[in-house]
Structure 1
Amino acid sequence: MPRITAVRALVVFDIDGVVRDVGGSYRRALADTVEHFTAGAYRPSAAEIDALKTEGVWNNDWQASLELTARYFEQQGHLRNQLNLNYEQMVAFFQSRYRGPDPQNWTGYITQEPLLLEPSYLESLRAASIPWGFFSGATRGSATYVLEKRLGLVQPVLIAMEDAPGKPDPTGLLTTVHQLEQRAGVEPLLPVLFAGDTVADLYTINQARELHPERCWIGVGILPPHVQESAVTRADYGAILQAAGAAIVLENIQQLGLRQIQMLIAATSSG
């Protein structure tokens, strides 16, 4: 095999669907919430949740819960402005499922999330002098739980829900990149790869590219585990990510190795 030459880039990861499998946690809590606030009349399927998220603006699962609930009642002939849905109550219910009933001692679905990468993968990037960080729509508490408690990372660069507007607004991605540059002391305008599993993630990097066309921005689509249960759903979801702007679609983030990063940068630069 030819030797891999030095790769100069920054890598930013989404968390949900990339670092951890949230099919049985965030998405389960979302379905629980919609079911509860429709009095058991409607529980959205995984496909219905995916369909909502392909619209590119429902990255926040609290807001997605509210939206699916409102759409259900609209289909029953109710007017949205007369529904009187309480967003704060929906968030509290969602959190009681996701974190658990005790906000200080988490026992909910979050404790059962399978990890989708090993710390050794991140260490391989670090060893290659590729700075990495995280930009997620998850709350800081939830993101820190998986990154520090589960993966054992020490204060990684992280921009979470509380730190920036929701995706596809690129502010959080740009802030993550700036913090990586400051912490690592690297030269400006290195290529940026952003790996995410939703349309909103890819729209985010598209908007960053529009704001800063002088930089190489590469969207990496990741297939979340729940869409890999059949060849059809895997292919359909991959096509959606590519249409949203993914330069490549991978089944697992750890496939984004040094050689793959180098090839993506070369292909984007030549294009």
Structure 2
Amino acid sequence: MNVFIFDIDGVIRDVSGSYRRALADTVEHFVLHLTGDRYRPSSEDIDDLKAEGTWNNDWEASQELILRYLKGRSLTVSYEEIVAFFQGRYRGKRSDWTDGYIASEPLIANKEYFVNLTASGVGWGFFSGATRASAGYVLGRLEIANPVLVAMEDAPGKPDPTGLLVAVRQIAAMGKDEIEQVVYVGDTVADMLTVVKARDYEPNYQYVAVGVIPPHVRDRDRYADLLRANGADLVLNNVLELETSFQSRNG
């Protein structure tokens, strides 16, 4: 049996106007607070940081961009303050999150897509660096009930492959057919490196790293090359292309 494990941000939902906007807001706010300077990281600045393969966590990425702007000057705000500001923009102030950026995220996938995967005999689940609450919010919008989900709180951050393998084991425990091939679908360098590392951690499976170019990217050829250089076996423009492309790849 084939198992498809999906990242969520940039794959299942478009986060260019939510997570990435909150990241830019956070850096802009604290740089102004600490230095008086007006600086807002561009989309390319954020892409360049994430291309390093380490900054999958957007809270940590926000802090890192602030530190890089300070160039050795002391950071006099705590990580918790950075997270709180970020979450205030991303989730908003209301308990139902309707005033946060998360409420306006466009969905890339749809419910029917996952129904069709199940009908095709494909096992599937999610391994995401998003919080469980945030991931659950978008899966609820897709009307996906109780899926296999490994979120930020459940495993070390990518590119550590622990979370990917936990998701695969949870699917295996459901009594499905024996798993032969694990396909991980992500949109960042860290996602591709997760698969590269998984091959060493658990060599009993065959792995396919599928890179999806997120919607915000302008130079899509350059981004595709970046994903391939870091381990992508297949690069797609959209997650909905996966099943057809994967079948073609396997002949």
Report the TM-score, using the length of structure 2 for normalisation. 0.95
Q: Does 1:62 align with 2:59?
A: yes
How far 1:187 moved relative to its partner?
A: 3.5
Q: CA deviation at 1:104?
A: 4.7
The Cα offsets for residues 117-141 of structure 1, whole Å up to 9 and x where unpaired, read as 1211111111011011000000000
- Indicate the residue corresponding to 1:121 in structure 2: 113
Q: What whole-Å deviation, never above 9, does each CA across 1:7-61 have from its counterpart, x for those lacking one?
A: x300000000000000000000000000000015211000000000000010000
How many Å apart are 1:264 and its aligned residue?
A: 3.7
Query: Aligned with 2:184: secondary structure?
Result: strand
Q: For 1:256, what is the secondary structure of its paired residue?
A: helix
Does structure 1 residue 134 correspond to structure 2 residue 132? no
Alpha-carbon distance in structure 2 between the residues aligned to 1:263 and 1:85:
51
Once residues 67 and 104 of structure 1 are traced to their aligned partners in structure 2, the CA distance between those partners, rounded to angstroms, is 30
Verify the 8 A CA contact 1:191 1:265 in the aligned structure 2: no
Q: What's the counterpart of residue 144 of structure 1?
A: 136
Q: Show the counterpart of 1:261.
A: 246
| Structure 1 letter corresponding to 2:168 | V
Correspondence for 1:171: 162
In the alignment, structure 2 segments of 5+ residues that lack a partner are none
Root mean square deviation of aligned Cα? 1.3
In structure 2, relative to structure 1, the CA distance for the partners of 1:69 and 1:103 (3 Å cut) is farther
Instruction: Give the number of aligned pairs.
Output: 247
The Cα offsets for residues 40-99 of structure 1, whole Å up to 9 and x where unpaired, read as 52110000000000000100000000000000010xxx34xx322310000000000000
What is the alpha-carbon distance in structure 1 between the residues aligned to residue 44 and residue 147 of structure 2? Answer: 33
Per the alignment, residue 5 of structure 1 pairs with: none
- The Cα of 1:208 is off from its aligned counterpart by 0.5
Q: Residues 71 and 103 from structure 1, CA distance in 2 versus in 1: closer, same or farther, beyond 3 angstroms?
A: farther
- Is 1:107 the counterpart of 2:99? The answer is yes
Please give the alpha-carbon distance, in whole angstroms, between the structure 1 residues aligned to 2:196 and 2:77.
33
Give secondary structure in 2 for the equivalent of 1:52: helix
2:237 is aligned with 1:251: yes
Residue 168 of structure 1 contacts residue 207 of structure 1 at CA under 8 Å; is this kept in 2?
Answer: yes
Instruction: Report deviation, 1:152.
Output: 0.6
Does structure 1 residue 37 correspond to structure 2 residue 27? Answer: no
- Structure 1 gap segments, 5+ residues each: 1-7, 267-271
Report how far residue 181 of structure 1 moved.
1.1
Alignment-mate amino acid for residue 178 of structure 1: R
